[in-house]
Structures are given as C-alpha cells and as structure tokens.
Amino acid sequence: MLTTVCSEEVSDALAEGFPIVALESTIFSHLGLPSPFNREALERCTMAVRTNGAIPAVTAVLDGEVRLGLMGDEYERILGPARKAAERDVAVAVGQRWDVGATTVSASVAIAASAGVSVFATGGIGGVHRGSESTGDISADLDAIASHPVITVSAGAKAFLDLPRTLEFLETAGAPVLGWQHDWFPAFYTRSSGLPVPHRVESAAEVARIFAARSRPASGMLLTVPIPEDAELDSAELDGVLSEALADCERAGISGAAVTPFVLGRIGAATEGRSVPANLALAENNAAVAAQVAAAIAGYPPQR
C-alpha cells in the first residue's frame, strides 16, 4: 500500500479542499532538462500553478519516503543527481531507501491519486513505441493514466512514438482523451500530430464536468494542451531528425527507456538548442492549464 507524506502546505490545502496540481520531478532533475534549465522549469511551472489559483505539489521519493509537495532545500535535492522512478519502481525506492527518486508520469499519477489529488501536469507522456508489435515496448504512463482517478495534463506525446497506437491504447483502456481548445492531438514540440483528438473542450469547467461524470470513478483521463504557437518547432525539420535518430537507435541496438533521451538529445543538437525553450514553454503552459482545471474541480475561482 502506497504511503505518501505530504508537505505542510499540501496537507493544509487538502484539508481546506483547495486546488492542488501534482508535478513530476524527473523533468527537474539531471535526468530531464540540463542545468540551469531544470531550475528554470521548476520555477516557471510552480509559479504558473500558483498564478492560476492552485498549490504546486512536486512528487519525489526522498530518503525512502514517498513525497507529495516539497519544502526548502528539498527542491535543491531534486535538481541534482537522482534515480528515475516509474510507478513500478516506487516500492523499490521505498524498500531500498533511495536518497532521491525522480518520479516519472506513472509514479506521479499514482502518488497524486494516493493522496486524493485529481490533477497532474507534465510535459509529454510516454506511449506505444514504434515496433512495439515485436518489442512489446509500451510506456507504463498509459496504464497509470487509465487506472488512477487523475487528470493528466500534457502536450500530447513525443513524436517519435507510435501515436495512432498510443491513442488506440488509451481508447481500449477507457481513458478519455481531450483536446484543450484544439482539434488535433499534439506531438510535444508541435501543435498537431495530424491525428484528430477524440473530444475538444473549451474550458476548465467543462473538463471538471466530464471528470465528474466518469462511469468508472477509479479511472483517469488525458487532457492534451498544444504547445504555445510562438514556441512551436518546425514539423518538417523535426520529421527529418526523428527519422534519422530512430534509424540510428535501431542500428545501435538502443531500445526501451534509452530511446527517449537519445532522440531528445539528437533533437536538441539538430535544432541548436531551440528545443529547450520549447520544452520550458510547453511545461509552463501545461501547469497553468492544470491549475485552472484543479480550481474548477474544487469549485474555486480561477485566481486565488
């Protein structure tokens, strides 16, 4: 059974029914954005949550404790070296008393659910990998999104994944996929993957109503938010980089969790660093939308 330790601020917010947005810690660690951009991402995401009327609650495993909400120098700890912890790894991190476990999407969704937090914001989710019919490589993010009563707010999924099968997996699992004021499923750095989003929504109140009307109260849903237009990267340029990077992965025998950092590294190099500002912009934007949704679910006005 997952035992989660909440910060004082998060505990008070839970007691008051005040809106809370859970945030993953992988993006803020050395496993996510390079320094000093990981710090900038942390500051921008937490501020976006507060500005839009909610309390930010960063998830992590610290000294073997599952944490929801950090305090003081604990933020500094997650900015440094850490071990990646997906949902399947959280029990190991607790049992082995990891110093710092940086939580992924699946772990963060599980931690949020364990404390009764209904909204989680991230950059992009994992999904079904290309060639999964032979490798079986499907991100644990998808099962977590479908299996926990949490709204995951993201800029869709990364373009090097098999996006049609990712959407099909979520449909089969019974997880609604919504598009925030947009008709197309976003592909992280680009606003559209060319795949229509199943359902478009226009407001946080609409998302809250849909969440309340779920036929399976223990299930979750995905709210996709396209990257801001002024931060979007060129899709044609990305397509060429992705094709070459995936071919190099296959030749080098790179698979599983190692594919994502390899491909993102190649994108960063090919775009001469332009992918970093794009990543920061979409993460901040997702956090802002997530806070609006959390406020609507809690029945609070959009500004505190």
The domain that contains 189 carries what CATH number?
A: 3.40.1790.10
Q: Which single residue is written with the structure tokens 């937090």?
A: 117
Both tokens of residue 275? 């992918």
Q: What is the DSSP letter of 256?
A: G
Residue 139 DSSP one-character state: -
pLDDT at 128: 92
Q: What is the pLDDT of residue 191?
A: 96
Cβ atoms < 10 Å from Cβ of 192:
18
pLDDT value of position 257:
64
Q: Which of 256, 246, 298, 224 is nearest to 15 (CA)?
A: 298
The residues, ordered by sequence, that sit 6+ positions from 72 with a Cβ below 8 Å of its Cβ are: none
In the block, residue with structure tokens 């396209």:
226
- Residue 252 sits at φ, ψ, to 5 deg, of -90, -5
Neighbours of 56 (CB within 10 A): 23
Give me 161's structure tokens: 């994944």
Whether 304 is covered by a domain: the verdict is: no
Q: Tell me, what's the pLDDT at 303?
A: 52
User: Domain range holding 161?
Assistant: 4-298
- What does the block give as tokens for 127? 């999904």
In a domain, 303, yes or no: no
Given 24, 87, 232, 284, which residue is catalytic?
24
Identified catalytic residue from 76, 87, 133, 158: 158
Active site residue 158: yes
Q: By three-state DSSP, how is residue 49 classified?
A: helix
What per-residue confidence (pLDDT) applies to 158?
Answer: 83
Give the count of domains, the chain: 1
* Residue 76 to residues 25, 79, 123, 287, 302, Cα–Cα distance (Å): 11, 5, 20, 20, 29
* 24 catalytic residue (yes or no): yes
SS3 84: strand
- Record the tokens describing residue 115, joined without a space: 């404390």
Q: What is the pLDDT along the chain (304 residues), one digit of tens a residue?
A: 799 999 999 999 999 999 999 999 999 999 888 899 999 999 999 999 999 999 999 999 999 999 999 998 999 999 999 999 999 999 999 999 999 999 999 999 999 999 999 999 999 999 997 776 766 778 999 999 999 999 999 999 988 889 999 999 999 999 999 999 999 999 999 999 999 999 999 999 999 999 999 999 999 999 999 999 999 988 877 777 777 777 777 777 776 667 777 776 776 676 656 789 999 999 999 999 999 999 999 997 665 4
Closest CA to 10 of 66, 82, 64: 66
> Could you tell me which residues come within 8 angstroms of residue 75 by beta carbon, excluding any fewer than 6 positions away?
42, 58
Predicted local distance difference test score (pLDDT) of residue 304: 44
pLDDT of residue 300: 75
- H/E stretch holding 111: helix 105-115
3-state secondary structure at position 258: helix
Is 52 part of a structural domain of the chain? yes
Q: Which helix (H) or strand (E) is 143 found in, with range?
A: helix 140-147
Kindly report the pTM of this predicted structure: 0.92
